[in-house]
Amino acid sequence: MILRDYHYKKNKADNWMEVFQNPHPVQIRSFKTGTVTINRWGTLNPEHPQAKNLQEEELEVPILAHWVHHEEKGDFLIDTGLDASYSQDPKGRMEGTAVDEFQQNKGENISQFVKKNHIDLKKVFLSHLHADHAAGVRELPKNIPYVIPKGEYAEYHPEIHGNFLEGLEELYEIDFLKSNRMPPLGLSADLLGDGSLWAIHTPGHTPWHVSFLVNSMEGHILLAMDAVFVNENLKLGIAPSDYTWDVEKAQETLDKIIEFLRIYPQLKVSPGHEFLK
Ligand SMILES: [Zn+2]
């Protein structure tokens, strides 16, 4: 794999207030490419002091992908969800006990959605390289840039998550060390150069995990991805611990997102595995 630098301009803004005062003609639509069964015990860290009465309960949650349409710059996908290999086989034709399992109805796969909506894909941005966020790469065009956070390629484990990057010759990496710190969140990169779409370093789930912010005239939406699995993480202030690289960092990141919401109550946070309400 050839890893290239994703070029972006350092934004002049160093605070979100200034960004939100200049929203853009972008629309976002989220859709389900399958579901995954997770446990409430782990979706919310059971070791958290506030989690004393947490009950074990299986939750079937959507596997999401997000379509961002920018009136001047075109169509982008933020995460891809699943490809069609999961509609026949929950393990997506992989073997082994450590392999992720998902449920998918026929026709829910990402390329169907792209086709049905006549999406003219310019680029694909990925929050991290877990199968439920990126397996769909398998069935998407190979002649467009795929963009990941720098450092995340080291977390790509095809033996567990599938070889969904096969066929891609290069990946573009967002180097956050060139970006601004935007309190109360961390390093934030202006992906399209006009302040409409941002990648924000939100470590914990994985070391270089990113959330995305869509600065639309219709509202400001933080696509938290796996920094917030479900709304209950926000409501109780308890971060996930399952599938998590560093639980302490995940909690720090969640605390920052809650603080972000407190400062900017007009903001909407879309969890990684629940539709925005
Ligand atoms: Zn993940």
pLDDT 10s digits, 114-126: 999 999 999 999 9
Confidence band, pLDDT 50/70/90 cuts, at residue 265:
very high
The domain locations on the chain are: 2-271
The pTM of the full predicted model, rounded to 2 decimals, is 0.96
Q: Cβ atoms within 10 A of the Cβ of 140, count? A: 19
Strands 74-78 and 121-125, how do they pair? parallel
Give the torsion through C-alpha atoms of 227, 230, 235, 241, to 10 deg. -50
Supply the mean pLDDT for the chain: 95
Calculate how far, in angstroms, residue 134's C-alpha sits from the geometric centre of ligand 1. Answer: 9
Q: Among 93-102, 118-127, 136-145, 248-257, where is mean pLDDT lowest? A: 93-102
Q: Which helix (H) or strand (E) holds 257?
A: helix 247-263
Calculate how far, in angstroms, residue 274's C-alpha sits from the geometric centre of ligand 1. Answer: 14
Calculate how far, in angstroms, residue 44's C-alpha sits from the geometric centre of ligand 1. Answer: 14
pLDDT at residue 19, rounded to an integer: 96
How far is the CA of 84 from the CAs of 63, 88, 160, 162, 216, in angstroms?
13, 8, 17, 13, 31
Calculate how far, in angstroms, residue 12's C-alpha sits from the geometric centre of ligand 1. Answer: 31
Residues ≥6 apart with Cβ < 8 Å to 115: none
pLDDT 10s digits, 37-90: 999 999 999 999 999 888 899 999 999 999 999 999 999 999 999 999 999 889
* CATH level 3 topology of 2-271: Metallo-beta-lactamase; Chain A (3.60.15)
- % pLDDT > 70, the chain: 100
Beta carbons of 229 and 38 less than 8 angstroms apart: yes
Confidence band, pLDDT 50/70/90 cuts, at residue 91:
confident
CA 24/CA 44 separation, integer angstroms: 35
- pLDDT at residue 11 greater than cutoff 90: no
The angle at the Cα of 75, spanning 221 to 195, to the nearest 5 degrees, equals 45
Calculate how far, in angstroms, residue 137's C-alpha sits from the geometric centre of ligand 1. Answer: 15
CA 29/CA 51 separation, integer angstroms: 33
